[in-house]
Chain A
């Protein structure tokens, strides 16, 4: 239980076997390489070469992966993939595959298609732009050569103008030209109703007044558009030409896309396999690159779990006789990484600790301490026997159907399997089965339901609120005791009493006092509670001022520390969410049943609508409530509970492992 004991291994070996050693260390999946010395920047040349070779291959694999993935339809559904239904291969098979695959030529082929696609797209966007220019010039009957070339005496420009500026432009053009035939303004037809913000216009003018026309146009807010010089025919004729080339380009583009997805389908599986293969290789060589070296030998240091040490030692020593492996316990000044090692019942909860922060190697592993509380809290928040059965059944189905689920995913699912049990229990004792399904639709079961009920949040919420807050006090006090234990372990007696035990006395004392005064406990608990609370408060008062000089600042800090009790009040009230969330899921369930019942009154199809509403509604309710029931109990652990004793801060044990991003790799 707790943080696993690690051993530090020092492994000396001849350089001739360094590849086998690296492979063996990675295959065990239980060795975390230690960087030997900070100053050691140069890496053994042999390993350096292997790394650069692998990186070169990886660059190709990454390129192919990145380029082909958008064109690839994964034949394995995402859910199946997540649950471990993936292709399998051994490292030997992958090595064979790597040897027989000509990555370079595949890359070249893909690059060619990619390049061509880019070019086609560029041309296509140009053609589409020209096409839109042509559409906007459709109002002109003149050949477009008048814009691009002009005649000897006449040329033209086209542009856009705001409707309100048209009159201005007309006057301006009329003003400077004494002869009206020096210029002609043609405005594209538009309807007054639509109120377009900009209108196309063309000005045809004599070359002799070019500069005046241009000046008038820019003054009146006509922004000139550039007409591509390839346009010479009328806009209708040009448009015909362009739409022919657009459809041709589009056909080309889709042919290229088809080629790309063909390439993707043909190569993606290999690329994924090779990606895992080369990433594994890179990982292992980068690991052993941290070794020290002499001319012919290398020294690799690594951490490994103590319980696997002998097994791994035998395995490595079998590689070559010229190997020396010494195992030692971590020195007091060393800070090994931490590996959580918990039994079957607690292991699924490891993820909750790891999500926060791993403990230090010599610190407390909070997982077994938080597990029962999380289990209870989750149950209270989801709190419905029917929902629990659905979750439980779904998980059993997944475990039956999928046999190759990876360890991490499996543990996470098991967490919910465990929690569905507490959910079921709380659902039974609070009388919630798909909300009030029993009361609404199965009245004959009501006596059974009622006989099993211990609490009734619907009619007596104060009772459940009391239970929630009491659980909160227990949780917090447990946290304080753990903190005190941890300090006592490190012989910090005064801090343990002043920081933790004092608060424990004060709060437990107050609770006893309150409970006894309210008649829930025998009367003599009043005095006991009072005494505990006063003793606790006195210790807090004096402990807070212990490092202050001067009587006044001692008194002030003492009172400030006592004021800190408000934070405990806040902490305890925070547990009222257990009632609120449990209540929430019960009421949502109730609402769904109610709607289902209402729907059933619809003539003829009522029953069908009712089934859809009830099934769909409860599935939605399960999904949304599981999220809430996971997040809120987790917050109670992290903020309220961990706040008392745990700060994590350890380095997680990350052994060298085979990369298994896409396929299941076996050693």
Chain B
């Protein structure tokens, strides 16, 4: 049972990286489909399409960031060996990972849809690029807030 804490904490890291990554992959996929459609008409829009497509990618990076944060906290990076983690601490770390895991996952998907719509928009109105970027960025707010909460919660957990 003495490894339970470590396992729970690692589950947290896994969820953060995996769920947020899944969300970003779906979001970028949806946006990429729209971008490819627009570029068949006008290949010159590659640059602006790529930027819009990349926007839902940040959630995956936030998830990765939290996962590394957790691994670092557990002493799993570098050769030092894992720290002792009680199951209570492990559970705390697992919960700290949930905001970015869940909000990152879903917000990336919805941001991808908004990005796809924005890509459609610049295909008709290239001059509206500014607005087209802002609409998906509105969705990302909630991933940023979740990231913030995850970070603050993790910093509060004392390990070792």
Contacts and interface: CB of A to CB of B under 8 A. Distances in A.
A438 interface: no
B134 A461 contact: no
Nearest to B72: A594
B151 A580 contact: yes
B61 A355 contact: no
B72 to A, nearest CB: 8
Given A461-B155, A573-B145, A587-B68, A624 B61 contact: yes
Contact of A587 (B65, B129, B133): B65
A283 interface: no
A437 B155 CA distance: 21
A651 to B, nearest CB: 13
A356 interface: yes
Given A580-B144, A581-B144, A638 B54 contact: no
Interface stretch (A166-174, A289-297, A627-635): A627-635
B2 to A, nearest CB: 27
Contacts of B3: none
Contacts of A461: 151-152, 155
Interface in B17-65: 51, 54-55, 57-58, 61-62, 64-65
B87 interface: no
A577 B141 contact: yes
A639 interface: yes
B57 A584 contact: no
B18 to A, nearest CB: 17
A576 interface: yes
A261 interface: no
A579 B148 contact: yes
A271 interface: no
B68 A584 contact: no
A62 to B, nearest CB: 14
B138 A355 contact: no
A588 interface: yes
Contact of B148 (A576, A587, A594): A576
A579 B148 CA distance: 8
B130 interface: yes
Contacts of A465: 148
A577 B130 contact: no
Interface in A187-229: none
A587 B147 CA distance: 12
Contacts of B80: none
Contact of A624 (B58, B137, B151): B58
A584 B63 CA distance: 10
Contact of B134 (A574, A576, A638): A638
B95 interface: no
A628 B78 CA distance: 29
Contacts of B130: 352, 354-356, 634, 638
A581 B65 CA distance: 11
B31 to A, nearest CB: 14
B131 interface: yes
Given A355-B129, A573-B145, A584 B134 contact: no
Contacts of B159: none
A583 interface: yes
Q: Which of B57, B129, B134 has the most CB of A within 10 A?
A: B134
A323 interface: no
Interface in B117-149: 129-131, 133-134, 137-138, 140-141, 144-145, 147-148
A590 B151 CA distance: 15
B61 A631 contact: no
Interface string A588-599: 101100100110
Contacts of B129: 355
Interface in B64-122: 64-65, 68-69, 72, 77-78
B71 to A, nearest CB: 9
Contacts of A354: 130
B65 A574 contact: no
A591 B68 contact: yes
Interface in A597-644: 597-598, 624, 627-628, 631-632, 634-635, 638-639
B46 to A, nearest CB: 9
By Cβ-Cβ distance, the 7 closest A-B pairs, closest first, are A355-B130, A577-B144, A580-B148, A635-B137, A591-B68, A631-B137, A580-B144
14 contacts: A355-B130, A573-B145, A577-B148, A580-B144, A581-B144, A584-B65, A587-B68, A590-B68, A597-B78, A627-B51, A632-B140, A634-B133, A634-B134, A635-B141
Given A576-B145, A638-B134, 10 more contacts: A352-B130, A355-B130, A577-B144, A579-B148, A581-B144, A587-B65, A591-B68, A624-B58, A635-B137, A635-B141
